[in-house]
Amino acid sequence: MTNANALLEAPLAPTLIRQTLPVIGGMLAMLSFNLVDAWFIARLGTEPLAAVAFTFPVVFAVVSLAIGLGIGTSAVVGRLLGRGERALVARRSTDAILLAALVGGLVTLLGLPSIEALFVALGAGPALMPLIHAYMGVWYWGAALLIVPRVINSVLRAQGNTRAQGVAMALAAALNALLDYLLIFGIGPFPALGVAGAALASLLSWGAMTAGLLAYPPLRRCLSLGGLRVHQVWESWRALGRIAVPAAITSLFTPLAMALVTRIVADQGHHAVAAFGVGTRVDAIAQIVVLALSMTLSPLVSQNLGADQPARAWQAIRGCFVFVLAWQLLVWGLLQLLAPWLTGGYAEEPAVAEVLRAFLWLVPLGLGAQGVVILSVSSLNAMHRPRAAMGLSLVRLFGLFVPLAWLGGQLAGPVGIFTGMLVANLAIGLIAWWRLCRIWRQAGRRER
């Protein structure tokens, strides 16, 4: 049975497990890019580390563009695969990769001349600007190499092939770690490039991953470079853009909301900010399974809707909802067991340890409900309802999450902030479940 047929015919639970495990490995590998870069750059001193930290919002914005393009590609290609329209799958897949390359080129053209103005606006001082120029002056050249492989991976996921993505990301992460060591410090014949070496290591790793994926036979078989027509390419880009643009905007909501909550936490003192920073990183790791599952659920839903199997798609969605609620409750229990080690390892001051312990007790308790939201957004994009997905994210982050965190901080300090975050996630989890059920019933009535 082919990967594509497995999404349509094989038992749901084993299929989702097989599809999700490689994605988890790939996500862990991608997390290591920033962690390894930061670890090596920290050896250069505080100023280089601070300079690279200033680049994170820009890097995340470009990643958000890639995520949006990937979501649009997966939803469109998955639906066509379910319908059996192989020729159109090849056209859309090829044009999606061309669009990713174009967007990457535009990022390079716009980014290079705007480094000074952009990072001054972000608050970087004169002492850091030479380091930021050294890093971003290299990094921007690789924007297309960052975006293209993410779109390629979305094409492969739409076909039910996640193993190649996991292997490619793991190999790229290993290459990045090696090149960081060689290029940052100048080992052997390699020049010591400092922060520019870290950017070059990332660029070369992305390039190697892109080349490897483009040479991968299952991908090449579903591309079509012959007979390119401008009107066909434009038609593909319009179809992709209807989902990709709202998805990219939605991806930017989370860092913006977290920046606002960080500002709210900052009013409670440096110890609260330090604890919040550690807690949010623990949260990111605690959600990896849910995030990976959202990436594999989307093509399954898309293909089954395309194949006129809505009952199977809905069974998968409901099963994933139940799983993430149980899984994240298990993760919460594990975090309580690890809490003494986490607070002892990351909090040198008692005040930091106290706030971190409150965070670990309260915030992860709502991750199951947050997982329902993440899966709902993924399902809505797969249903070609990106505006509904964006609306759900808007309500969660700016209607509940940020306001309740602010109110909690006013009433009860850090504990109040974390309680507000928990209440917001629990409330939006219920809203997301209700909203998705309602949209699904409406879609079913229209089809009848």
Check residue 194 and report its DSSP letter.
T
* pLDDT tens-digit map of 90-128: 888 888 999 999 999 999 999 999 999 888 876 777 888
> Does 1 have pLDDT greater than 60?
no
Mean pLDDT for 233-248 is 84
Q: Is residue 221 domain-resident?
A: yes
Between CA 378 and CA 317 the distance in angstroms is 10
Same-domain check for residues 221 and 264: no
Report how many domains make up the chain: 2
Same-domain check for residues 292 and 199: no
- Picking from 42, 24, 37, 44, the residue whose alpha carbon sits closest to that of residue 202 is 37
Q: Is residue 244 domain-resident?
A: no
Share of the chain above pLDDT 90, in %: 33
pLDDT at 122: 67
Check residue 141 and report its DSSP letter.
G
Q: What are the Cα distances from residue 248, in Å, to 63, 381, 441, 447?
A: 9, 12, 27, 29
| 7 band by pLDDT with thresholds 50, 70 and 90 | confident
Place of tokens 């100048």: 186
| Structural domain span for residue 54 | 3-228
Same-domain check for residues 219 and 279: no
Same-domain check for residues 278 and 408: yes
Q: Is residue 234 domain-resident?
A: no
* pLDDT tens-digit map of 431-445: 999 999 998 888 765
pLDDT at 111: 93
Q: Is residue 247 domain-resident?
A: no
Same-domain check for residues 211 and 284: no
Between CA 400 and CA 391 the distance in angstroms is 13
Q: Is residue 243 domain-resident?
A: no
Place of tokens 């005040």: 351
Residue 391, burial from CB neighbour count under 10 angstroms (0-12, 13-18, 19+): middle
Q: What region, left, alpha or beta, does residue 298 occupy, with left being phi > 0 and alpha being psi -120 to 50 degrees?
A: alpha
Q: Is residue 251 domain-resident?
A: no
Cβ pair 175, 134 in contact under 8 A = no
> Does 219 have pLDDT greater than 50?
yes
Same-domain check for residues 135 and 180: yes
Same-domain check for residues 185 and 327: no
Q: Is residue 252 domain-resident?
A: no
Q: How many CB atoms lie within 10 A of CB 322?
A: 11
| 448 band by pLDDT with thresholds 50, 70 and 90 | very low
The residue from 228, 244, 278 where one domain ends is: 228
**Threshold 0.85, pTM exceeds:** no
Can you read off the two tokens belonging to residue 257?
């909301």
Q: Is residue 236 domain-resident?
A: no
Same-domain check for residues 151 and 273: no
Between CA 69 and CA 91 the distance in angstroms is 16
* pLDDT tens-digit map of 326-351: 999 999 999 999 888 877 765 567 77
Same-domain check for residues 151 and 266: no
> Does 157 have pLDDT greater than 70?
yes
Rg from Cα positions in the chain: 22
- Picking from 36, 252, 49, the residue whose alpha carbon sits closest to that of residue 135 is 49
Same-domain check for residues 207 and 265: no
Same-domain check for residues 183 and 36: yes
| Range of weakest confidence among 58-72, 87-101, 168-182 | 58-72
Same-domain check for residues 301 and 367: yes
Mean pLDDT for 154-166 is 84
pLDDT at 432: 93
The residue from 176, 210, 228 where one domain ends is: 228
